[in-house]
Homo-oligomer: A and B are copies of this chain.
Amino acid sequence: MQTKEPASLCDLNEPLIDHSEGQHFLNETFKIIMEEVLRKGTDIKEKVCEWKEPEELALLLDLELRATGEPRHRLLQRVKDVAKYSIKTSHPRFFNQQYGGVDYHSLAGRFLTEALNTNLFTYEVAPVFVLMETEVLRGLRQLVGWTEGDGIFCPGGSTSNMYAMNLARYRLFPEVKSQGLWGLPQLTVFTSPESHYSVKKGAAYLGLGTDNVILVKGAVPFLVSCTSGTTVQGAFDPLDHIADVCQKHKLWMHVDAAWGGSVLFSKQHRHLMKGVDRANSVAWNPHKMLVAGLQCSVLLLQDTTNLLKQCHSANATYLFQQDKFYDVNLDIGDKSVQCSRKVDCLKLWLMWKAVGSDGLAERVDRAFIHIRYLVEQMKKREGFHILGEPEFVNVCFWYIPPSLRGKEGNADYQDRLAKVAPVIKERMMKQGTMMVGYQPLGNRVNFFRVIVFSPLVSQKDMDFFLNEIERLGNDL
């Protein structure tokens, strides 16, 4: 709301913003968030989503931006509407993606981050967060098994993976930074077909080309991108074995552990990433399994030669003056290809302080227990057919409705099965009872992928999940 008259242009000794009105609005918004997003949004008696067709939703939201401002009550209604029609990602029955749930300490850290509005490029403007980011990276590196090294928070796991790719080629051919790729031999990346699509996106973006993500004869391999926790099936590459090969051929070994990295907290499950300490770099997204909130993604490096800065620096004198009155090595901004960079460490740090490494380990262990229970129950029910024993907290399964059971031999079986998941999905969205994703993979037709990791989820929700799939798909 524009509380000042246009005449305020002349009243140059008053700020353009009314603090008291602004703080009141913020207070009211906070109450709406507490009630709509955090209380109702996590209540299993409430809906996960309030489905509207795009045209209808656009009308309801009245999104158009106009010349004049609006009064407080209308703006608060807008806040309520945004909350109402947004997906409740914290809801115990949001199984749709690898983020979800809520941690209140992390969320407190996120609010504080937003209010402080800090840009993480120099110590002078970000003293607390330069030191904090360093400490959080150290804590994560320790879990990888490194006593020294480097690292950086990135805007998402795709960026972390691209950074690793850029560092690997720079280490091999430092002239690439100034001269580009033209003078270099053709470079290739080895990765598995199940690796995340960001490897291909990165190859395209960095000028390498997606064709070079597979082996090309005569080309120079420079990077092996392993996956710890594939997106769909949650599979872990055998890191120790790959490390042997990388060591022999002097290849940069990158581990995309965006999804799976959090197993490192668990004494019981960290064996899934045995050999990770032999990697050159690890990408890990605490915004996924650890519920740190979007975004919280790190690239960890074993390197101690300041490769990150050498590779990415532009040495802008307006930002990174060398004649400062403190140690300019604390001005970490030039390690990034970003200029402005959000603070993503505080939320993880505060949550970690709150529950300790032990508390985070417990969450990981509990997720595995839930998954084990879920798989056991699926095996007891006739309509559930899992694609394979899960290694991690993804369970991929087909729901076979009664009409299709025992019809595996029929010519149209696969076609009919492929149509089951989309219909169940449509029904659950429109009823708002839960959310879970589906996809085809290779020659396997549409199957569901349920992911369980939110600390808000309990065993009751596993039972609900199975009953709900049956309820929604029984007549298909």
The chain B residue with its CB closest to the CB of A346 is B82
How far is it, in angstroms, between the C-alpha of A326 and the C-alpha of B339 when the chains are bound? 37
- Confirm or deny: A287 has a beta carbon within 8 angstroms of a beta carbon on chain B: yes
List B contacts of A145 (CB < 8 A): none
Given contacts A186-B182, A209-B179, contact A366 B16 (CB under 8 A): yes
- Say yes or no: A12 contacts B458, CB within 8 Å: yes
- Say yes or no: B114 contacts A293, CB within 8 Å: yes
- Confirm or deny: A475 has a beta carbon within 8 angstroms of a beta carbon on chain B: no
The chain B residue with its CB closest to the CB of A42 is B19
- Confirm or deny: A349 has a beta carbon within 8 angstroms of a beta carbon on chain B: yes
List B contacts of A130 (CB < 8 A): 54
- Confirm or deny: A37 has a beta carbon within 8 angstroms of a beta carbon on chain B: yes
- Chain A 85-120, CB-CB to B under 8 Å as 1, else 0, gives 111011010001101101111011011101111110
- Confirm or deny: A327 has a beta carbon within 8 angstroms of a beta carbon on chain B: yes
- Say yes or no: A125 contacts B87, CB within 8 Å: yes
25 pairs, CB–CB < 8 Å, chain A vs chain B: A12-B458, A23-B38, A23-B104, A26-B34, A26-B38, A26-B104, A38-B115, A75-B105, A75-B353, A75-B354, A82-B112, A83-B116, A85-B128, A87-B126, A89-B117, A97-B119, A102-B117, A117-B293, A155-B159, A181-B207, A182-B186, A197-B314, A205-B337, A295-B340, A321-B439
- Confirm or deny: A196 has a beta carbon within 8 angstroms of a beta carbon on chain B: yes
How far is it, in angstroms, between the C-alpha of A6 and the C-alpha of B359 when the chains are bound? 9
The chain B residue with its CB closest to the CB of A114 is B110
- Confirm or deny: A15 has a beta carbon within 8 angstroms of a beta carbon on chain B: yes
List B contacts of A196 (CB < 8 A): 339
- Chain A 306-337, CB-CB to B under 8 Å as 1, else 0, gives 00000110101111010111110010000001
Given contacts A65-B349, A118-B89, A356-B67, contact A338 B456 (CB under 8 A): no
- Chain A 252-292, CB-CB to B under 8 Å as 1, else 0, gives 00000000000000000000000000000000010100000
How far is it, in angstroms, between the C-alpha of A90 and the C-alpha of B129 when the chains are bound? 17
- Confirm or deny: A378 has a beta carbon within 8 angstroms of a beta carbon on chain B: no
